């Protein structure tokens, strides 16, 4: 297969769109969007960013809602490869950081197999954006020297089983769970049963950087019930760890009166 391009300029650029606030894209990411002939984007990317595309750029929504795939992964891979091989500059725009729970590896592998030059433009991931909104430092000298970004669920929607939950429960670490809403009760019960302090503060950050953003805080033992009572829904992350306590203690009651109980 022949591939147009001078060997230096990428033909597929995997760009992180950030969590939802259109200001949270990198300068390079925004430049790539404006240069693109084709933007292949996910459901969660901000529409304001798509408005940055040039007038003759083509936009394709391959959006995946939880449990629903608009375009199968191999169809997305094929689309990227075919269009890049036809000489189009393709931007693959993904929510947050493309390298975090974004199926980036599969798409990069497909492009590289077709000898298509690729680049990855990182983005602000939901975990760091959510922490920032709540004033949480994910690390703290002497308090939290480890951060874990974990998916709470596996492909079938069950509790993730690819790692040692006991290790997570016992670690003096900040745990950030993605895709956690539907399994929040199981996640928190599992952590507590394996040794995590049930009274430790936890935070659910829903729709970070988007119009219906909400932060729900409470002790780990109650956060799932609180989130359910508030009808928290995807997209949301759950953060728990030693630094969550200090951040929530410092919050003004007025700002969080509705949210912190």
User: Residues, the chain, total?
Assistant: 261
Q: Are 110 and 220 in contact (CB under 8 A)?
A: no
The residues in 6-65 that bind ligand SAM, with binding defined as CB under 6 A, are 19-20, 44
Closer CB to ligand SAM, 115 or 210, in the complex: 210
Query: Is 178 exposed, middle or buried (CB count within 10 Å of its CB: 0-12, 13-18, 19+)?
Result: buried
- Say whether residue 102 binds ligand SAM (CB under 6 A): yes
Q: Residue 32's Cα: distance from chain center in Å?
A: 20
Closer CB to ligand SAM, 20 or 201, in the complex: 20
Dihedral sign computed on CA atoms, order 84, 89, 90, 95:
positive
Tell which one of 235, 241, 243, 247 touches ligand SAM (CB under 6 A). 235
Least Cβ distance, residue 213 to ligand SAM (angstroms): 7
For residue 240, the cross-strand partners are 175, 202
Least Cβ distance, residue 19 to ligand SAM (angstroms): 4
The residues in 121-180 that bind ligand SAM, with binding defined as CB under 6 A, are 125-126, 130, 178-179
SS3 233: coil
Catalytic residues: 42, 64
Binding residues for ligand SAM (CB under 6 A): 19-20, 44, 94-97, 100-102, 125-126, 130, 178-179, 205-210, 234-237
């Amino acid at each position: 297969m022949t591939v147009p391009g001078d060997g230096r300029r990428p033909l597929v650029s995997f760009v992180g769109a950030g969590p939802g606030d259109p200001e949270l894209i990198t300068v390079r990411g925004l430049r790539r969007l404006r240069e693109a002939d084709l933007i292949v984007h996910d459901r969660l990317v901000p529409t304001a960013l798509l408005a940055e595309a040039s007038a003759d750029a083509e936009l394709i929504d391959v959006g995946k809602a939880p449990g629903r795939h608009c375009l199968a992964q191999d169809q997305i891979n094929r689309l990227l490869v075919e269009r890049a091989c036809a000489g189009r500059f393709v931007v693959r725009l993904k929510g947050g950081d493309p390298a975090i729970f974004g199926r980036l590896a599969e798409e990069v592998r497909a492009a590289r197999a077709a000898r298509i030059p690729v680049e990855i433009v990182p983005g602000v991931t939901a975990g760091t954006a959510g922490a920032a909104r709540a004033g949480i430092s994910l690390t703290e000298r002497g308090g939290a020297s480890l951060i874990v970004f974990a998916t709470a669920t596996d492909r079938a929607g069950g509790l993730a089983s690819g790692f040692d939950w006991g290790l997570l429960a016992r670690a003096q670490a900040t745990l950030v769970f993605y895709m956690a809403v539907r399994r929040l009760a199981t996640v928190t019960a599992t952590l507590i049963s394996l040794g995590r302090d049930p009274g430790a503060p936890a935070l659910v950050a829903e729709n970070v950087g988007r119009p219906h953003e909400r932060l729900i805080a409470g002790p780990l033992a109650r956060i799932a019930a609180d989130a359910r009572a508030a009808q928290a829904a995807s997209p949301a992350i759950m953060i728990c760890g030693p630094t969550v306590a200090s951040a929530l203690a410092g919050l003004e009651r007025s700002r969080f009166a509705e949210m912190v109980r």
